[in-house]
Structure 1
Amino acid sequence: MENNKFISYIDEIAVTDESSKKITIDNLNLRKSSSTKDDIILTIPKGAEVEIIPENKGWSLIKYKDTIGFVYNKYLADKKNEQTIKKYVNVATLNFRSGPSTSYSIISTLSKGTKVEVISTTNNWSKIIYDGKIGYVSSEYLSKSIDLNDKTSTLETADKIISYAKGLLGKKYVWADEGPDTFDCSGFTWYVYKNVAKISIPRTSKEQGVYGTYVSIKNLKPADLVFFDTVGVKDNIISHVGIYIGNNQFIHASSSKGKVVISNLENYYLDRFVNGRRILK
């Protein structure tokens, strides 16, 4: 009842305290109150301009056309920033943060070549829109275009990683070893990336499983790392890692085989697949 009174009051007052913003996500729900549990009045398309009235606890009361209701603030951007600039990530992995400093939490990580919309730049931090979310990244890691030559270089590096890894086929599996003649699973991946790509990834499979950029099984590319839950019940706790080599195969230091082998990503391993991670730029 109180909410209905509030909406009626807002509808009648002058709009001098209102400001215009735009929607940053497809089909944003306009609700009767500031709660995801309340009824949806209608959905608003991405890019639509809305009039903002007050903001409260992460929600804004807005007027869209002739309808008033509540939307979640993080899907709104200032109208004056409507003309965003498209830029591309130019580093292997870039932290997408909730605020303009390294003290803010990480929303996600962006891989090299990812396209983002830059809203504004202040003190070497860029406020961007990515995947319908607004956050911040360091400006020095954004470029106006993709370096096609560098993309070719990435493909060449992936080929070298796979070739180098295959050269280690048959090397013995020894727990906690990291080469050059014996390996455990994460020691193998750590050794290959260190020697070919000159990238120092974390040492354990659990740590490697959150390094780089997430890749789904259907989007795996050669040289991506693939992770599995091979211990106990299938609860997605990473215990094994290998390097994807294409054609639904991966190379890894297998404890059950006692050596570095190539396996198919099917049956046992498909059933225990947790996620993929992209390390290359």
Structure 2
Amino acid sequence: MKKFTASLLVLILSALLVMPAVMGASPAPAPVVGEIQSSVSFRSAPSTSSTVYKYLKAGDNVVILEQTNASWYKVQDVLGTIAYVSSSDKYIEIIYNASIVSSVSFRKSASTDGTRLRYLSKGESVLVTGQPNSAWFAVTDSKGVKGYVSTSEQYISLGASFSLPSGTKPGSGTGGGDTTPSAPQLIENTIAAGMKYWGTPYEFGSDRDTTTTFDCSDFVRTAFREGAKLTLPADSRKQGDYVKAKGATKSDWRSLKRGDLMFFMEYKGSKASNYAGINKATETITHVGIYLGNGQILHTYSTESGGVRTNDISGGQWENRFLFGGSVL
């Protein structure tokens, strides 16, 4: 965790000036601060074809104002310039996403009986890394010390939700309450989790305990584990069985919803005629991907294709090989 420096303080204070405040409303969200990990373009728009204002260097800090889409953050630098950078963790890491509203106990465990490490002071910035229950946040302070604080808004103000782990939200600090995101939000979290691995190399039979390479089912499993906190079976056939057990599978891919899984048979050729007469109800699943909507699939299937990527479904092998699809939620 980066130390809280004077330049970082200036950055946070300047960001507060662009955050709206409403009289009588809850406190404004805490600034979300990111640290640049390696040199990255600071652009005029969320596109690689937009103008490059400059290059941010490793160690620079920015305030993240919003996540424009799965690939881009809108940020503000120390000079107050607002522009866009890649959201890939290769280039930027969130180091603070909450601030302390009033002095609060920083404890070793998620309990009022837990050893008090110290008191966090009003105005301190911290990184919320999880929420073990409705009453406690897991946080890391500016010196890298890990502990727990109350979720009560009396004590802590969270930054924008894109910076927080799935299911993390402020609570009363007294227990109770539902912290589970809606199904649509879980799907968006899952797709965002998958998109951050764009270009990760393909490897058949990839190690399920790492994210350096993926095969198709490992990629899908990782996206849902990170985005929806759901651990799917480790291979595509068992994932297919999982979806069937949920019911309401679709044999027409155009009937699928964003975030549904798509299952495919083995490749027999690029033409529709190569699949004529095949009883797809008896075919074995050999591939799986995530339907994005608008005729697109997010998946990985070969070294030559460049690893994790998207493809059009209509009129090609993916339409011809499609067996069925459905939701895991």
TM-score (norm 1): 0.43
| Structure with the larger strand share | 1
Q: Highest Rg: 1 or 2?
A: 1
